[in-house]
Structure 1
């Protein structure tokens, strides 16, 4: 599966339901109708596109949305959530992280305390496991086949599929002057508390 069919599947998934759980159920079912090799390719594409989003500017955008800090795992789940926004929004955000401020999913969060984000939380950890779950359904196994699945993914991935460090230059989103220059819309939409 190359990147175009991957995004076609993600776009079709977006059309199914608003709930991430419902979308995952649909996606798992769609993947389970494919060959094990195609399911592995889906995961390879997912890993590659999320690696494309592993930049210091997007880390800063996530940190701004989350109030000034985002863990490594939190950013991983944020990148998966960005995939769920669809190809156009994802690619726009990779090119210009401040463009996230224009997405309906982010606009819904503006002004709300994080405690009220609920199902709108900008993270989608479960997307990272849906191909494994579909692979287990197709293979008729569970549990131990995860190693074989991830070995197959690793064998198919390019050597630079999962960078160890974000691309670009690191900067501090808590520096209001720099944040206002690099992420003007997100900085305005998600002001940081004094002393953050």
Structure 2
């Protein structure tokens, strides 16, 4: 599996259903029917692609969306959610996190308080585990995916390690400079839980 196949595979799951849990079941089922090397490919590609969104700029954009409360876990889960939105959306956001202002799913969130987000919460934690589960199903070996990953010189990442220069979305001058459109949509302290 290469990056193009990875994105096509995610796109197919989204064409089948928009429900995140049903998408995960579809992904797990189809991965588990694949050769083990393809399952490992999926996890390695997920990690590599995710790494592109693992920046301080993206974290502060997420922090703005979450009303100033984007934890390490929340940021990690948001990265998977962004990947789940598809290649074009992901590339748009990675190019400039302020482009999240153009993403329909983000625009819908901005229209109401966080307490009303319910099933639309911008996270997809379980995508991080779908390949490990599929590998276990196919090979009958719990946590078996990690040895073949190590054999390829890969480690599974389980938390953000942002790149770039650290800054704070609590600095309104920086927010206006770096995330002008998002800051008009989401203001810190304005979101109600």
TM-score between both structures, scaled by the size of structure 2? 0.91
Q: Deviations over 1:59-106 (max 9, x none)?
A: 111101001131111111010000001001101111110111111111
Shift of 1:153: 2.2
Partner of 1:113: 113
C-alpha distance 162-131 of structure 1, shift in aligned 2 (>3 A):
closer
C-alpha separation in 2, matches of 1:89 and 1:185: 16
TM-score between both structures, scaled by the size of structure 1? 0.90
C-alpha separation in 1, matches of 2:150 and 2:116: 38
Gaps of 5+ in 2: none
Q: Deviations over 1:101-125 (max 9, x none)?
A: 1111111101322111111000100
**Structure 2 residue aligned with 1:152, among 143, 148, 152?**
148
How many pairs align?
Answer: 190
Gaps of 5+ in 1: none
Residue 64 of structure 2: SS of its match in structure 1? Answer: helix
Q: Is the 8 A contact 2:32 2:138 kept in 1?
A: yes
Q: Is the 8 A contact 2:170 2:188 kept in 1?
A: yes
C-alpha separation in 1, matches of 2:152 and 2:65: 34
Q: Deviations over 1:114-163 (max 9, x none)?
A: 11111100010010111111112211x2xx521x212222332558x889
> Are residues 1:169 and 2:175 paired?
no
C-alpha separation in 2, matches of 1:149 and 1:61: 32
Partner of 1:34: 34
Runs of 4+ in 1 over 2 A off after TM superposition: 153-159, 161-165
